[in-house]
Each structure stands twice: as C-alpha cells, then as structure tokens.
Structure 1
C-alpha cells in the first residue's frame, strides 16, 4: 500500500479486551468437553490468541488448531469460493469445537468450516466471531458468540487486513470512503 491513509477507530484495545473476556466467560458457562478451538486464518490470529488467554483465565484449557481458508485473495469482497489452504490435524470426533473468526460477513467461509468439522463427527460446533456484519449474509449461519456488530465498512486492524496491510494495529478501524463522517 502506498502512503498511510487515515484509519478511524471503531473499537479500541480496551473495548476489545473487555468483549473477549465476556466471550470466554460465555464459553466457560457452556462447560465444553475436550474443547478444540480452531482459528480461521489469517484474520483471526490476534482474536484467537487473546481468546485462548481469556479461556485460560476462565479455567478452560482448550487445544488450539488452525484452519487456513481463503475466499478473498487480495480483494475486498469475497469471491464466494472457499479454498482450504491448510487443514487441521486433530481428530474432532466427539469433541466440542469452537471456530474462531475475525468477521462473519457473507458467512460462506464459516458455514464451509462448520459443515466440514460437523461432518467429521464433532459433538458440537460453535462459532465465535469478533465482528458480525449481518447485512451482507449470503449463507445460513449465525455466530454463537459475537464481539461487536460491525457497521457496513471495510475494517482493518487487530488481525484484519486490506490487501495484507494493517493487520498489526491493536484496534479495529476503517479507512474512510467518500461519504463517511
């Protein structure tokens, strides 16, 4: 990316940390059995790491796995086609699984992942999405745990990118477009 555009903060570090603690407590309330947390890469890596630490603080010790799926490439709109770039290695048979993703937007990627894990014999498959953007949903899926509802903006930061830039930001923000206040 050339130059550094203005990025406006939607959710700051403190708000994100508070929500993640709340999500971990909600997960702990379900008393999961043999919990496997599967982070959907790449965007969820910061959320998944912080959620794992919050689960530890809530006396839950999940196994962690990583599923690398792609539907965006370098674009800002999902292609609608989901590809498995890296599969998980763990057996999910009879286990409670939580899929962790940065944003639930069209839902295609998370529905693909949920269906794939369920078909492999997981006892339950729940979804934790840091952001929920329901106005763009194309697949029949809802998150069981949601950090924040996302406005209709292309968001960056806290693991989320625009053409592989700005993942490192400690907050969630957006690049203003024409007409943004």
Structure 2
C-alpha cells in the first residue's frame, strides 16, 4: 500500500506556534494549573506545550485522560468512553485540556463538563488543530494552534491506523483508493 503524505505544517512553524500558545496561556496567569492531555493524539503536542509553558514562567502539573468515541470505525460516535481518567483532585483548579484536533467537539465537551462537575475553577481548551466545519456540539477552543483544512492529517502525534504519529511535522494524506480514509481523524 502506497500512501502519499504532504506537509501541511513543518517543524519550525509548529515550534513557533507552540511557543506563542504557551506565552498566551502564561499571560492569562492561571493559578494552580493542571494541564490534562487528551490521549492518544495530543501526547507530543502536550509535551512540547508544557515545556514551552515552563520557558514562559509557568509550572503546571500534568495529567492524562484517555477517551474514546470511535470504537472500530473512523466516524465519531455519540457515546464517549473513559479509558483512563484524571487522578488528581481538580477542585478549585484552573484546568487546561490539550487535544490534537477539535472536530466534532463531543470528546472535549465531555471532558470539560467532567472537570467542571468535579469542581474545577476554570476549564480552557487548547487545540493544536481546529476543524470548525465538522463541529457537532457547540464548543470552541480558547487557544488554537492552526485552522485545519478538511483533510485527513497525520504526524506530530496524530495517526492513521496507529501509524505516522512519529512524524515531526503535520501532514495530510493525499486521498486515493489505497489510503482507505474518509477524511476524519481519530481525534475529537
């Protein structure tokens, strides 16, 4: 199977944008900050973001939440399953949810509501990529890395069939019979 991947955002562009996002978050002066990475696709972005936050003067704690809305297919389902939950007490804390891509909004809406119900002081969303044309619920990110064209993207943590996460750039899969994609990612 031959797969063609074209670069959408290269390493230097991503690195500069992550630093800008960290600076913007630091300017908001969050208190008792807990960064929650939504697994799996956000792990590289979240790691780079918290390192950039440190350089911006923040000292966040970090947690992970693994949610699933896909099951065996590529279309987002309405039911969200918790595969791994946040273990830290979120009561009274500023929370930043970090995700690779904001598409339907179901997963991030679920995670945000869960944190608020547990008593979080505030919950903000940082999405590396935003595809507003795919939104199914009314939610938006407080911080967005890049507007994303309606393409199937891989790299920088995002995958296609558990492959291509390791790419240091964000690319898109050129559509064709050999890819078997329908234009939606694993993420939200």
Tell me the TM-score normalised to structure 1 length: 0.94
Let me know the Cα RMSD of the aligned residues.
1.0
What's the CA shift for 1:73? 3.5
Alignment of 1:1-181 (within 5 A): 3-178=1-176
What's the CA shift for 1:68? 0.4
d(CA) in 2 for partners of 1:174, 1:101: 18
What's the CA shift for 1:128? 0.1
d(CA) in 2 for partners of 1:12, 1:55: 21
User: Which residues of structure 1 form unaligned runs of 5+?
Assistant: none
What's the CA shift for 1:77? 2.2
User: How many residue pairs were aligned?
Assistant: 176
User: Which residues of structure 2 form unaligned runs of 5+?
Assistant: 177-188
What's the CA shift for 1:72? 2.3
d(CA) in 2 for partners of 1:35, 1:154: 32
Per-residue deviation, residues 99-129 of structure 1 (Å, max 9, x unmatched): 0000000000000000000110000000000
Q: Which runs of 4+ in 1 moved over 4 A?
A: none
d(CA) in 2 for partners of 1:10, 1:74: 27
Tell me the TM-score normalised to structure 2 length: 0.91
